[in-house]
């Protein structure tokens, strides 16, 4: 398995993972909208954001391989914890037909290792209250379920 | 009340708010360490991070006024929600002797307005499970307590 920063070529595969957690969608069939191009470019050009992918193999120079998982890391500067950054994890996905192989745990382990290597003091995420299997998964990985997560949609101005 | 981006001059007052939620500490007595300088500079220079303060009045050009509350906003680019950013709120504080005046609600209202004005589709935060009064506060403001918040401290590499 290769864990690496996603390139523009991975975008359809990442969108396929995000679009449906329970089915395998063909990346080639995913419409890549202007909003996706813009958001991907924003992540790619931001020194504190990374879209990371887990791939089966890296058969070609400069990327390649089949994307089987992804997550986004955001490194947040802050005044607490001795001024260390904290890492926020969003958009964690493992391809539906590749569950049960430990890829999710591997993805999270690699993400934590990456954040630690950068000097982050903490890694954090939220998971919908309905996703009880995911909660057990994060607790098995050593995460403490210490917080309530609140969200408020914002209407367009 | 003035809601504005914190300047370096506000740093001791912000550190005083963060250091003890339940007591009023004198900003002049707060040690400002190199790690705080570094973290504040990181926030200030990052286009997707803002330390915001609520002050009693803005009596002097270029800042001033007594800091009575603070929060940090991080604007996170992402592929979901039509490519809109989401706003993460951290480090929400209202000075202990100024509680019960609605300043916390005002702070959050201004933060949501700011995030909406920027084009964010969502504003989110986590609150420690022990802070039940804070949970009721966020729910009154319209936030849905929809997620579990997980944290994992990372040891230094």
- For residue range A25-73, what is the model confidence (pLDDT) as tens digits? 999 999 999 999 999 999 999 999 999 999 997 655 556 689 999 999 9
pLDDT of res. A66: 93
Smallest CA-to-CA distance from B49 within B17, B83, B88, B101 is with: B88
In a domain, B153, yes or no: no
Question: At B50, which CATH number?
Answer: 3.40.630.30
Count of Cβ atoms closer than 10 Å to residue A140 Cβ:
10
pLDDT of res. A156: 74
In a domain, B148, yes or no: no
Q: A138 to chain B: which residues are within 8 Å by CB?
A: 150
Q: How far apart are CA A113 and CA A98, in angstroms?
A: 22
Interface-testing mutation among B47, B51, B144, B148, with chain A (most A C-beta atoms within 10 A): B148
CB contact B115 to A (< 8 Å): yes
ipTM of the complex: 0.94
Average pLDDT in chain A: 94
pLDDT of res. A79: 97
In a domain, B129, yes or no: yes
pLDDT of res. B60: 55
How many independent structural domains does chain A possess?
1
What are the two backbone dihedrals, phi and then psi, of residue B126, each rounded to the nearest 5 degrees? -125, 155
pLDDT of res. B61: 52
In a domain, A157, yes or no: no
- Which residues have a Cβ under 8 Å from the Cβ of B96 and sit 6 or more positions away? B20, B21, B22, B23, B24
pLDDT of res. B57: 78
Strand (E) or helix (H) holding B134: helix B132-140
In a domain, B146, yes or no: no
CB contact at 8 A, A40 and A10? no
Contact B146 A149 (CB under 8 A): yes
In a domain, B104, yes or no: yes
- Please tell me the distance in Å from B69's CA to the nearest CA on chain A: 15
In a domain, B149, yes or no: no
pLDDT of res. B146: 98
Task: Please report, in tens digits, the pLDDT of each residue of chain B (157 residues total).
Answer: 899 999 999 999 999 999 998 999 999 999 999 999 999 999 999 999 999 999 997 655 555 689 999 999 999 999 998 999 999 999 999 999 999 999 999 999 999 999 999 999 999 999 999 999 999 999 999 999 999 999 999 987 6
Mean pLDDT of all residues in A115-135: 97
Domain range for A58 is: 2-140
Mean pLDDT of all residues in A109-121: 97
In a domain, A127, yes or no: yes
pLDDT of res. B58: 60
Percent of chain A with pLDDT over 90: 90
């Amino acid at each position: 398995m290769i864990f690496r920063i996603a390139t523009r070529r991975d975008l359809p595969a990442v969108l396929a993972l995000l679009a449906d957690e329970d089915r395998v969608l063909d990346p080639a069939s995913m419409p890549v909208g202007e909003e996706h191009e813009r958001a991907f470019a924003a992540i790619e050009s931001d020194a504190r954001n990374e879209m990371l992918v887990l791939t089966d193999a890296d058969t070609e120079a400069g990327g390649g391989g089949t994307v089987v998982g992804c997550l986004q890391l955001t490194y947040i500067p802050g005044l607490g914890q001795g001024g260390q950054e904290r890492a926020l994890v969003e958009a964690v996905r493992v391809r539906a037909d590749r569950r049960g192989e430990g890829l999710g745990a591997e993805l999270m382990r690699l993400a934590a290792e990456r954040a630690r290597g950068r000097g982050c003091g903490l890694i954090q995420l939220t998971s919908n209250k309905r996703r009880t299997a995911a909660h057990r998964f994060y607790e098995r990985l050593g995460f403490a379920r210490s917080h309530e997560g609140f969200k408020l949609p914002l209407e367009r101005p």
